[in-house]
Structure 1
Amino acid sequence: MHDVGEQLRARGRRMTSQRQRVLDAVRRLAHATPEEVVAAVASDGGPPLAPSTVYRALDALEELAVVSHTHLDHRAPSFHLAEHADHIHLVCRDCGRVEQCPSELADGFAGNVLRVNGFVADVTHMAIHGRCSSCATR
């Protein structure tokens, strides 16, 4: 990962201890809603942080393309490190299980969208809803 502190300084910001704690929590959790990041930061042994501080830190880190988010459902987004972005989430509507598959599996879809609509689809970190193999065989 590139130097986040340097990127922040280039934009007139700095790597505060709060932003570092939020980044560390996202790194530990791999995929997490803002509420899960708030809980992780609250239990990391550091001083308490207001949820609004965590949300602002996530926004700042996303603006720098250090973290990114995906909507796995209609609720809160799931944040992850941007370098972890090249996969597709498969979300089971029945049991809620979330699996991952390589984004290359969507190349045909993206090619068809481009051919038919002239739209360049970004499939590097999307969620597809359906039924997992266990639920589908029931």
Structure 2
Amino acid sequence: MSDYDDLIQHLRANGHRLTPQRRMVLEALQAGDHHMSADEIAQQITARYPTISIDLATIYRTLRWLRDVELVSETSLGQNAMIYALRGRHDHHHLVCTQCHTVIEIDPEVLEPVRTEIMARYAFAARLDHIAIFGLCAACRQGDAP
């Protein structure tokens, strides 16, 4: 679900209130063409609505709520901040090199056998919507990285 109007309809159909703050955070995520930190979302909102003040605490609260209603994925790529993306629009996973910090996107299907095995072994329905796996890229393993 990536179309902004579909997101709004989904929230309303499930009885969720759409406050101005929630709307602004959703708009920022929808307009972003990459994963965004809360700071980047705040910058996007300020750029679009220069006369409106929204604090980071409100943005974090809104992002947690959007994550809990399963519209936003939250992950860490080994930096100091969590990053966020609309689910369905950016469903993918990452390999993150701990040496050169290269980030490689991998197809979600790669982790499907893991999801299946977790269900079979533990009867646990794993939500694998946005995962970062840390290690060394090929260049760093071969000593070719800058």
TM, length-normalised to structure 2: 0.74
Q: Which residue of 1 aligns with 2:38?
A: 34
Shift, 1:80, TM fit: 0.3
Instruction: Give the distance between the partners of 2:7 and 2:117, measured in 1 at CA.
Output: 37
For the pair 1:128 / 2:128, whether they are aligned, the reply is no
Question: Which runs of no fewer than 5 residues in structure 1 stay unpaired?
Answer: none
Instruction: Give the distance between the partners of 2:11 and 2:126, measured in 1 at CA.
Output: 28
Q: Quote the RMSD (CA, aligned, Å).
A: 2.7
CA contact (8 A) 1:89 1:99 kept: yes
Runs of 4+ with deviation above 6 angstroms: none
Identical-residue share of aligned pairs (%): 26
Instruction: Give the distance between the partners of 1:58 and 1:25, measured in 2 at CA.
Output: 11
Shift, 1:94, TM fit: 0.8
Q: Which residue of 2 aligns with 1:21?
A: 24
TM, length-normalised to structure 1: 0.77
Question: Which runs of no fewer than 5 residues in structure 2 stay unpaired?
Answer: none
Aligned residues: 137
For the pair 1:105 / 2:97, whether they are aligned, the reply is no
Matches within 5 A, 1:1-138: 1=3, 2-4=6-8, 7-8=11-12, 10-11=14-15, 13-16=17-20, 18-27=21-30, 28-46=32-50, 47-73=52-78, 75-138=80-143
CA contact (8 A) 1:90 1:129 kept: yes
Amino acid at match of 1:124: D
In the TM superposition, what whole-angstrom CA distance separates every residue of 1:8-40 from its partner, at most 9, and x where no partner exists?
475351242x32221122221421122222222
